[in-house]
A and B are shown apart, each in its own frame.
Chain A
């Protein structure tokens, strides 16, 4: 085979990395030391960012892409994939992250949106993208724009799993509705969802998203991980939940174990024992800023 016959950046190759991350934990890290702790604990990837969501929430101001130097330091520290966040619609930040050879870009509502109309045209990139979604229409719109991995949004930085559960249950219920619809109903359902018809037809036929579905936003204990995996998430993103807990190393190990053995309550009970305090958390009803409402 000549090298010319190889192709990079195909959908299969971009979705393929998401497939490899299934059953794993992707951890937010803000420096090489945390990245090392994450890899030691069995994380399948790290998300390099300057502040975890709970600090972004506390500090306020505009949250942007991280300093390239910090991303490169983390790339030099770990052997697992390194992801980084770009602002919604900020394709120039995404171009920079691709130039840095990050393995996945998260077009994330945790950062301050740069465009209130348009998300990034993700078909334009060789690097794959993950995007958040609160419902099926949003998920399929992102996939239509080229996202290769969907994560339910939850409410980042709260340590409260309630929104993640709401979003997963919503997506699941809407997928079941499509499966029970007859072919002539799918046009109106696609209109109601605001989603591309071919993708609506695909979900109606298969019963799942065309790309893997992970869960993010508010996971802060092994039990939370077990819960969202039993609700159909295929892997978890943990942001503030690890490095804002009392004992991050133990919490990281415990969430990794619980993610692999999520149906085995004996294992989840064992790793939940004597963990120290989880992050303090926030009641979502009292939040001033709901990050999940960013993106549409």
Chain B
């Protein structure tokens, strides 16, 4: 099974290491042709504005949009979640997203770097999982078809932090920054080899 890791910018190495630890073959995706014959794709953490810019200049944006429409399985963490969202709040005025996941996210919704935090999350089917949030996006609203797999109580309300809508997974935190590979395993186990 080959899983792509969008490798334009961000913590590509950590995602690749998590997948490799699970025995999954990885493909760094930087050009349109790298999208061919993937069982799934991970969109890593990084800066969503930079990755969005590089998606356009690399020519990956259009073929990836088509692949998502055709049902490509994808897991977006942090910046990746922002890029998959239906609506981005507090983004740049020209910020676009793939609208593959029916959620509205607020960029840096938990605050700037000083407010970045780690905590323990309760994930449906997995139990306690470490959650590392770096200038993380906050999922502020979500559609009825979106399954909420984990939430976080930040004092000002309880918000989803791991969601799934069919083949599209969104994660506000960074499972790839810890040695715990169960979130990746959950995603990989949902993939159909092709």
Contacts and interface: CB of A to CB of B under 8 A. Distances in A.
Contacts of A21: 46-47
Contact of A22 (B11, B53, B117, B118): B11
A17 B154 contact: no
Nearest to B52: A42
Interface in A172-200: none
Given A17-B113, A20-B46, A260 B120 contact: no
Contacts of B174: 16
Interface string A2-22: 110111111011101101111
A16 B116 contact: yes
B113 A44 contact: no
A1 interface: yes
Given A13-B132, A24-B46, A260-B9, A5 B113 contact: no
Contact of B49 (A16, A80, A104, A126): A80
A42 B53 contact: yes
Interface residues of A, number: 43
B52 to A, nearest CB: 8
A6 B8 contact: no
A23 B10 CA distance: 6
B149 interface: no
Nearest to B95: A79
Contact of B46 (A8, A10, A23, A101): A23
Nearest to B92: A79
A205 B47 CA distance: 31
B154 A7 contact: no
B145 interface: no
A20 B132 contact: no
B46 A44 contact: yes
A41 B132 CA distance: 28
A80 B95 CA distance: 12
B154 A6 contact: yes
A44 B134 CA distance: 14
B47 A44 contact: yes
A109 interface: no
Interface string B88-123: 001110000000000000011000111111111110
Nearest to B14: A19
A260 B6 CA distance: 11
Contacts of A127: 113-114
B38 interface: no
Contact of B132 (A12, A39, A80): A12
A19 B178 CA distance: 12
B57 A257 contact: yes
Nearest to B155: A3
Contacts of B30: 260-261, 264
B168 interface: no
A291 interface: no
Interface in A20-67: 20-24, 39-45
A81 B116 CA distance: 12
A98 interface: yes
Contact of A256 (B46, B54, B135): B54
A25 to B, nearest CB: 8
Interface string B141-153: 0000000000011
Contacts of A5: 119-120
Nearest to B156: A3
Given A1-B121, A3-B153, A256 B53 contact: yes
27 contacts: A1-B152, A1-B153, A3-B155, A7-B117, A8-B115, A8-B117, A12-B118, A12-B132, A13-B118, A13-B132, A13-B133, A16-B116, A16-B134, A16-B174, A19-B14, A20-B47, A22-B11, A23-B9, A23-B12, A24-B46, A39-B49, A42-B57, A79-B92, A79-B107, A101-B114, A103-B114, A127-B114
